[in-house]
Amino acid sequence: VSPQCFMIWNHSLDVPLQGSFILLGFPGPPSLHIGLFLLFLVMYVLTVAGNLAIISLVGAHQHLRTPMYFFLCNLSFLEIWFTTACVPKTLATFASQNGAISWAGCATQMYFVFSLGCTEYFLLAVMAYDRYLAICLPLRYVGIMTPALAVQLALASWLCGFSVISVPVTLITRLSFCGSRVINHFFCDIAPWIVLSCTDTRVVELTSFGIAFCVILGSCGITLVSYVYIIVTIVRIPSNQGRHRAFSTCSSHLTVVLIWYGSTIFLHVRTSVESSLDLTKVVTVLNTIVTPVLNPFIYTLRNKDVKEALCRMVKRR
Protein backbone atom coordinates (compact mmCIF):
# COMPACT_ATOMS: atom_id res chain seq x y z
CA VAL A 1 0.00 0.00 0.00
CA SER A 2 1.53 3.31 -1.03
CA PRO A 3 1.74 6.15 1.52
CA GLN A 4 -0.62 8.21 -0.68
CA CYS A 5 -3.26 5.47 -0.77
CA PHE A 6 -2.92 4.98 2.96
CA MET A 7 -3.38 8.71 3.67
CA ILE A 8 -6.49 8.87 1.48
CA TRP A 9 -8.00 5.75 3.02
CA ASN A 10 -7.20 6.82 6.57
CA HIS A 11 -8.66 10.26 5.97
CA SER A 12 -11.88 8.74 4.64
CA LEU A 13 -12.15 6.51 7.68
CA ASP A 14 -11.26 9.35 10.05
CA VAL A 15 -9.06 6.99 12.10
CA PRO A 16 -6.17 8.41 14.12
CA LEU A 17 -2.85 6.72 13.54
CA GLN A 18 -1.43 7.27 16.98
CA GLY A 19 -1.36 3.97 18.89
CA SER A 20 -3.55 2.09 16.41
CA PHE A 21 -3.30 0.02 13.25
CA ILE A 22 -5.43 -0.49 10.16
CA LEU A 23 -6.33 -4.02 9.07
CA LEU A 24 -6.30 -3.94 5.27
CA GLY A 25 -8.40 -7.10 4.96
CA PHE A 26 -9.53 -7.79 1.39
CA PRO A 27 -9.49 -4.58 -0.68
CA GLY A 28 -12.23 -4.40 -3.28
CA PRO A 29 -15.67 -3.01 -4.11
CA PRO A 30 -18.53 -3.01 -1.56
CA SER A 31 -20.14 -5.96 -3.34
CA LEU A 32 -17.06 -8.07 -2.59
CA HIS A 33 -17.15 -7.09 1.08
CA ILE A 34 -20.85 -7.95 1.34
CA GLY A 35 -20.22 -11.36 -0.21
CA LEU A 36 -17.25 -12.05 2.05
CA PHE A 37 -19.18 -10.85 5.10
CA LEU A 38 -22.00 -13.30 4.42
CA LEU A 39 -19.58 -16.14 3.64
CA PHE A 40 -17.50 -15.58 6.78
CA LEU A 41 -20.62 -15.17 8.92
CA VAL A 42 -22.18 -18.44 7.71
CA MET A 43 -18.93 -20.35 8.20
CA TYR A 44 -18.43 -18.87 11.67
CA VAL A 45 -21.95 -19.84 12.76
CA LEU A 46 -21.45 -23.35 11.36
CA THR A 47 -18.11 -23.64 13.16
CA VAL A 48 -19.54 -22.68 16.54
CA ALA A 49 -22.73 -24.72 16.13
CA GLY A 50 -20.95 -27.80 14.76
CA ASN A 51 -18.29 -27.92 17.45
CA LEU A 52 -20.80 -27.24 20.21
CA ALA A 53 -22.87 -30.13 18.84
CA ILE A 54 -19.90 -32.49 19.14
CA ILE A 55 -19.24 -31.39 22.73
CA SER A 56 -22.94 -31.86 23.55
CA LEU A 57 -23.04 -35.31 21.94
CA VAL A 58 -20.05 -36.55 23.90
CA GLY A 59 -21.46 -35.15 27.14
CA ALA A 60 -24.90 -36.68 26.55
CA HIS A 61 -23.80 -40.22 25.66
CA GLN A 62 -22.03 -42.37 28.20
CA HIS A 63 -20.42 -44.68 25.63
CA LEU A 64 -18.63 -41.68 24.06
CA ARG A 65 -16.88 -40.72 27.29
CA THR A 66 -13.55 -42.25 26.33
CA PRO A 67 -10.10 -40.66 25.95
CA MET A 68 -10.52 -40.38 22.17
CA TYR A 69 -13.72 -38.34 22.47
CA PHE A 70 -12.32 -36.40 25.42
CA PHE A 71 -9.53 -35.19 23.13
CA LEU A 72 -12.10 -34.52 20.40
CA CYS A 73 -14.03 -32.29 22.81
CA ASN A 74 -10.85 -30.39 23.56
CA LEU A 75 -10.25 -29.95 19.84
CA SER A 76 -13.82 -28.75 19.26
CA PHE A 77 -13.59 -26.31 22.17
CA LEU A 78 -10.30 -25.03 20.79
CA GLU A 79 -11.72 -24.57 17.28
CA ILE A 80 -14.54 -22.41 18.62
CA TRP A 81 -12.13 -20.00 20.30
CA PHE A 82 -9.56 -20.20 17.49
CA THR A 83 -12.01 -18.92 14.90
CA THR A 84 -13.57 -16.49 17.41
CA ALA A 85 -10.18 -14.88 17.95
CA CYS A 86 -10.09 -13.49 14.40
CA VAL A 87 -13.44 -13.83 12.58
CA PRO A 88 -15.65 -11.38 14.60
CA LYS A 89 -13.16 -8.54 14.06
CA THR A 90 -13.04 -9.41 10.36
CA LEU A 91 -16.85 -9.30 10.18
CA ALA A 92 -16.84 -5.92 11.92
CA THR A 93 -14.32 -4.64 9.39
CA PHE A 94 -16.49 -5.80 6.48
CA ALA A 95 -19.61 -4.28 8.01
CA SER A 96 -18.19 -0.89 8.98
CA GLN A 97 -15.43 -0.53 6.35
CA ASN A 98 -13.26 0.51 9.30
CA GLY A 99 -10.27 -1.71 9.97
CA ALA A 100 -8.93 0.27 12.90
CA ILE A 101 -7.61 -1.78 15.82
CA SER A 102 -5.69 -0.59 18.86
CA TRP A 103 -2.12 -1.63 19.56
CA ALA A 104 -3.21 -3.60 22.65
CA GLY A 105 -6.09 -5.21 20.76
CA CYS A 106 -3.80 -6.24 17.93
CA ALA A 107 -1.21 -7.74 20.28
CA THR A 108 -3.92 -9.59 22.23
CA GLN A 109 -5.48 -11.00 19.06
CA MET A 110 -2.08 -12.11 17.80
CA TYR A 111 -1.30 -13.87 21.08
CA PHE A 112 -4.55 -15.82 21.25
CA VAL A 113 -4.63 -16.79 17.57
CA PHE A 114 -1.12 -18.22 17.64
CA SER A 115 -1.42 -19.73 21.12
CA LEU A 116 -4.54 -21.62 20.08
CA GLY A 117 -2.84 -22.60 16.83
CA CYS A 118 0.14 -24.07 18.71
CA THR A 119 -2.24 -25.85 21.07
CA GLU A 120 -3.94 -27.49 18.09
CA TYR A 121 -0.59 -28.89 16.91
CA PHE A 122 -0.04 -30.47 20.31
CA LEU A 123 -3.60 -31.79 20.57
CA LEU A 124 -3.41 -33.42 17.15
CA ALA A 125 -0.14 -35.10 18.17
CA VAL A 126 -1.73 -36.35 21.40
CA MET A 127 -4.71 -37.69 19.46
CA ALA A 128 -2.33 -39.52 17.10
CA TYR A 129 -0.58 -41.09 20.10
CA ASP A 130 -3.97 -42.14 21.49
CA ARG A 131 -4.86 -43.85 18.20
CA TYR A 132 -1.44 -45.57 18.18
CA LEU A 133 -2.12 -47.07 21.61
CA ALA A 134 -5.65 -48.11 20.67
CA ILE A 135 -4.67 -49.85 17.41
CA CYS A 136 -1.14 -51.10 18.08
CA LEU A 137 -1.49 -51.94 21.78
CA PRO A 138 -5.21 -52.69 22.22
CA LEU A 139 -4.79 -55.01 25.21
CA ARG A 140 -2.75 -52.42 27.11
CA TYR A 141 -4.71 -49.38 25.98
CA VAL A 142 -7.03 -49.13 28.98
CA GLY A 143 -4.14 -49.53 31.40
CA ILE A 144 -1.96 -46.91 29.68
CA MET A 145 -4.45 -44.28 28.53
CA THR A 146 -6.19 -43.76 31.84
CA PRO A 147 -8.56 -40.82 32.41
CA ALA A 148 -5.87 -39.16 34.52
CA LEU A 149 -3.28 -39.45 31.74
CA ALA A 150 -5.77 -38.12 29.19
CA VAL A 151 -6.40 -35.05 31.34
CA GLN A 152 -2.67 -34.54 31.85
CA LEU A 153 -1.94 -34.76 28.12
CA ALA A 154 -4.75 -32.34 27.25
CA LEU A 155 -3.67 -29.91 29.96
CA ALA A 156 -0.05 -30.11 28.82
CA SER A 157 -1.14 -29.29 25.25
CA TRP A 158 -2.97 -26.18 26.38
CA LEU A 159 -0.17 -25.02 28.70
CA CYS A 160 2.57 -25.59 26.11
CA GLY A 161 0.58 -23.86 23.39
CA PHE A 162 0.01 -20.73 25.45
CA SER A 163 3.54 -20.69 26.90
CA VAL A 164 5.64 -21.22 23.79
CA ILE A 165 4.07 -18.37 21.82
CA SER A 166 4.63 -15.84 24.61
CA VAL A 167 8.32 -15.50 23.67
CA PRO A 168 7.92 -14.25 20.06
CA VAL A 169 4.87 -12.15 20.94
CA THR A 170 6.83 -10.42 23.72
CA LEU A 171 9.64 -9.63 21.27
CA ILE A 172 7.20 -8.45 18.61
CA THR A 173 5.43 -6.04 20.96
CA ARG A 174 8.75 -4.30 21.60
CA LEU A 175 9.14 -3.29 17.95
CA SER A 176 8.91 0.36 16.95
CA PHE A 177 6.69 1.69 14.16
CA CYS A 178 7.50 4.99 12.52
CA GLY A 179 5.80 4.70 9.13
CA SER A 180 2.72 3.05 7.71
CA ARG A 181 0.47 1.22 10.17
CA VAL A 182 -1.56 -0.66 7.58
CA ILE A 183 -1.44 -4.41 8.31
CA ASN A 184 -1.80 -6.33 5.05
CA HIS A 185 -4.06 -9.00 6.55
CA PHE A 186 -7.57 -9.53 7.90
CA PHE A 187 -6.25 -10.12 11.43
CA CYS A 188 -3.09 -9.23 13.36
CA ASP A 189 -0.65 -11.77 11.95
CA ILE A 190 3.01 -11.88 12.95
CA ALA A 191 4.47 -11.49 9.45
CA PRO A 192 2.66 -8.27 8.41
CA TRP A 193 3.36 -6.76 11.85
CA ILE A 194 7.11 -7.41 11.43
CA VAL A 195 7.09 -5.89 7.93
CA LEU A 196 5.77 -2.59 9.32
CA SER A 197 8.53 -2.20 11.90
CA CYS A 198 11.27 0.34 11.29
CA THR A 199 13.70 -1.40 13.69
CA ASP A 200 15.89 -4.47 13.24
CA THR A 201 13.62 -7.54 13.14
CA ARG A 202 16.18 -10.29 12.58
CA VAL A 203 15.98 -11.57 16.17
CA VAL A 204 12.19 -11.61 16.04
CA GLU A 205 12.15 -13.39 12.68
CA LEU A 206 14.66 -16.03 13.77
CA THR A 207 12.86 -16.60 17.08
CA SER A 208 9.46 -16.90 15.41
CA PHE A 209 10.85 -19.21 12.76
CA GLY A 210 12.68 -21.36 15.33
CA ILE A 211 9.64 -21.79 17.57
CA ALA A 212 7.33 -22.49 14.62
CA PHE A 213 9.84 -25.00 13.26
CA CYS A 214 10.16 -26.81 16.61
CA VAL A 215 6.41 -26.89 17.24
CA ILE A 216 5.54 -28.06 13.75
CA LEU A 217 8.42 -30.51 13.45
CA GLY A 218 7.91 -31.93 16.94
CA SER A 219 4.16 -32.43 16.65
CA CYS A 220 4.47 -33.64 13.06
CA GLY A 221 7.17 -36.13 14.10
CA ILE A 222 4.97 -37.63 16.83
CA THR A 223 2.01 -37.80 14.46
CA LEU A 224 4.06 -39.29 11.63
CA VAL A 225 5.71 -41.98 13.78
CA SER A 226 2.35 -42.88 15.31
CA TYR A 227 0.76 -43.35 11.91
CA VAL A 228 3.68 -45.35 10.58
CA TYR A 229 3.12 -47.88 13.38
CA ILE A 230 -0.66 -47.68 12.85
CA ILE A 231 -0.39 -48.39 9.12
CA VAL A 232 2.04 -51.28 9.69
CA THR A 233 -0.31 -52.78 12.28
CA ILE A 234 -3.39 -52.38 10.05
CA VAL A 235 -1.64 -53.99 7.08
CA ARG A 236 -0.81 -57.03 9.23
CA ILE A 237 -4.46 -57.60 10.19
CA PRO A 238 -5.53 -60.73 8.25
CA SER A 239 -9.19 -59.88 7.51
CA ASN A 240 -10.49 -57.04 5.37
CA GLN A 241 -13.22 -56.33 7.90
CA GLY A 242 -10.66 -56.05 10.70
CA ARG A 243 -8.49 -53.69 8.66
CA HIS A 244 -11.50 -51.53 7.78
CA ARG A 245 -12.64 -51.39 11.41
CA ALA A 246 -9.16 -50.43 12.61
CA PHE A 247 -8.70 -47.75 9.97
CA SER A 248 -12.16 -46.26 10.59
CA THR A 249 -11.13 -45.39 14.16
CA CYS A 250 -8.38 -43.04 12.94
CA SER A 251 -9.51 -41.94 9.45
CA SER A 252 -11.26 -38.80 10.74
CA HIS A 253 -8.22 -37.69 12.69
CA LEU A 254 -5.94 -38.42 9.75
CA THR A 255 -8.11 -36.29 7.45
CA VAL A 256 -7.98 -33.35 9.87
CA VAL A 257 -4.21 -33.73 10.23
CA LEU A 258 -3.67 -33.62 6.47
CA ILE A 259 -5.81 -30.49 6.05
CA TRP A 260 -4.21 -28.72 9.02
CA TYR A 261 -0.59 -29.46 8.15
CA GLY A 262 -1.14 -28.86 4.46
CA SER A 263 -2.13 -25.24 5.09
CA THR A 264 -0.05 -24.28 8.11
CA ILE A 265 3.35 -25.51 6.95
CA PHE A 266 3.26 -22.88 4.21
CA LEU A 267 2.15 -20.18 6.65
CA HIS A 268 4.74 -20.66 9.37
CA VAL A 269 7.84 -22.39 8.02
CA ARG A 270 9.36 -19.52 6.08
CA THR A 271 12.63 -17.66 6.39
CA SER A 272 11.32 -14.44 4.84
CA VAL A 273 8.19 -12.62 5.99
CA GLU A 274 8.25 -9.86 3.39
CA SER A 275 7.09 -12.02 0.47
CA SER A 276 3.78 -13.60 -0.50
CA LEU A 277 1.66 -11.68 2.04
CA ASP A 278 -1.35 -11.67 -0.31
CA LEU A 279 -1.02 -15.42 -0.87
CA THR A 280 -0.62 -15.85 2.89
CA LYS A 281 -4.00 -14.19 3.46
CA VAL A 282 -5.70 -16.63 1.12
CA VAL A 283 -4.11 -19.68 2.74
CA THR A 284 -4.87 -18.30 6.21
CA VAL A 285 -8.57 -18.31 5.35
CA LEU A 286 -8.29 -22.07 4.84
CA ASN A 287 -6.41 -22.43 8.11
CA THR A 288 -8.48 -20.20 10.40
CA ILE A 289 -11.98 -20.39 8.89
CA VAL A 290 -12.40 -23.37 6.56
CA THR A 291 -10.62 -26.02 8.67
CA PRO A 292 -12.55 -25.29 11.91
CA VAL A 293 -15.88 -25.54 10.07
CA LEU A 294 -14.87 -28.81 8.36
CA ASN A 295 -13.78 -30.62 11.53
CA PRO A 296 -17.29 -31.25 12.95
CA PHE A 297 -18.50 -32.60 9.61
CA ILE A 298 -15.41 -34.78 9.17
CA TYR A 299 -15.81 -36.34 12.62
CA THR A 300 -19.58 -36.69 12.19
CA LEU A 301 -19.63 -38.17 8.70
CA ARG A 302 -16.58 -40.42 9.05
CA ASN A 303 -17.08 -41.58 12.64
CA LYS A 304 -19.67 -44.29 13.16
CA ASP A 305 -20.12 -43.73 16.90
CA VAL A 306 -20.63 -39.97 16.59
CA LYS A 307 -22.97 -40.43 13.62
CA GLU A 308 -25.11 -42.95 15.51
CA ALA A 309 -25.25 -40.73 18.59
CA LEU A 310 -26.31 -37.77 16.45
CA CYS A 311 -29.04 -39.85 14.76
CA ARG A 312 -30.38 -41.00 18.13
CA MET A 313 -30.45 -37.41 19.44
CA VAL A 314 -32.29 -36.18 16.34
CA LYS A 315 -34.87 -39.00 16.56
CA ARG A 316 -35.53 -38.29 20.25
CA ARG A 317 -36.20 -34.64 19.49
Q: How far apart are CA 240 and CA 235, in angstroms?
A: 10
Task: Give the pLDDT band (50/70/90) at residue 112.
Answer: very high
Class of the CATH domain delimited by 3-316: mainly alpha
On the CB side of 56, CA atoms within 13 Å amount to: 11
* Distance in angstroms (rounded) separating the CA atoms of residues 145 and 211: 29
Predicted confidence band of residue 161 (pLDDT cuts 50, 70, 90):
very high
Read off the pTM: 0.84
- Kindly report the number of other CB atoms within 10 A of residue 266's CB atom: 16
32-84 pLDDT, tens per residue?
889 989 999 999 999 999 899 889 888 887 778 889 889 999 999 999 999 99
